[in-house]
Amino acid sequence: MNLKVVLEPSEDGGYTAHCPSLPGCISEGETQEEALVNIREAIELYLEPVEDELVFSQVSEVFEVAV
């Protein structure tokens, strides 16, 4: 999966990175490289399923789809 990431200089130094297609998925780093590594990790965590919090009714069917 390829996602666009916006990388901007921070007012306090370093860089802020965010992924517009994933609301609230933001990270920072002292360098561009560090900010990109950090936003990749943030995206992975954002997209990680939280199976413990999933509640299904008895008539539900669960399917997996690839994106």
pLDDT for the residue numbered 53 = 62
Using pLDDT thresholds of 50, 70 and 90, give the confidence band for residue 7.
very high
Q: What is the mean pLDDT of residues 51-62?
A: 70
HSE-CB at 61 with a 13 A cutoff on CA atoms is 2
pLDDT over 90 percentage in the chain: 66
Q: What is the mean pLDDT of residues 28-34?
A: 97
* HEC letters along 4-44: CCEEEECCCCCEEEECCCCCCCEEEECCHHHHHHHHHHHHH
Name the pTM for this structure. 0.72
